[in-house]
Amino acid sequence: MNRTGRALALGCLLLLQPLLASAGGNSLLIPAMGRCTLNTQPEDLPQALAACKEAAQSGDVQAQYELGEYYYDGKNTPRDLNQALNYFEQASLQGHAQAQYNLGVMFFRGEGVKANNVQAYILLKISAVNGDEDALDVADEVSGQMRRDELEVATQVLGQIFRKYLLELQTADGRTPFSPLP
């Protein structure tokens, strides 16, 4: 995140402070970031890890992402790329842009999986569509190392994914993808 982005994020947090205080601890107003608190004291880590795994198992996308980060970084536990891959995949399937980015980078570098530039490119492009700012730059780096036929396959797959998405939007509530929101 650049300096302006950090300043904007900090400003938003400062504006939220009074809202959070007056909300009586309403968890709906608390940002989802850092939900698992896995950077806790070593004696509290087993309980925090168990709670985070339970949340991830129940489908909590942020918990899935944070567990992926936990196992990928290997700061408080031995690095486990298989676990990281598993949790990043779960969060990625739910549209978590950072998980998609990390998964794409893992495929690009061959970390925990066989290197696969086509898969990496697809994941990074989807991550970019979902809002990850760095994904396009890395996707460009990946495409620079791809053969033409690989790039064509990746582009075709992305086209199919987006066509399917548009069709789902068209059939939802009988609207077209470009009709105004209710």
Q: Where are the alpha helices (DSSP H) in 23-116?
A: 45-57, 61-73, 81-93, 97-109
Identify the DSSP state of 93: H
Alpha carbon of residue 78 to chain centroid? 22
Q: What are phi and psi of 140, to 5 degrees?
A: -65, -40
pLDDT tens by residue, 103-161? 999 999 999 999 999 999 999 999 999 999 999 999 999 999 999 999 999 999 999 99
Mean local confidence (pLDDT), 99-106:
97
pLDDT tens by residue, 16-73? 333 333 333 333 333 344 578 887 787 888 899 999 999 999 999 999 999 999 999 9
Top pLDDT among 113 and 6 is at 113
CB 118 within 8 Å of CB 154: yes
63: tokens are 């918990």
C-alpha 151/C-alpha 47 separation (Å) is 45
What are the sequence ranges of the domains in the chain?
Answer: 34-94, 116-176
What pTM, to 2 d.p., does this model score? 0.73
CB 35 within 8 Å of CB 65: no
C-alpha 138/C-alpha 70 separation (Å) is 22
Residues 36, 82, 78: CA angle, nearest 5 degrees = 65
C-alpha 52/C-alpha 115 separation (Å) is 29
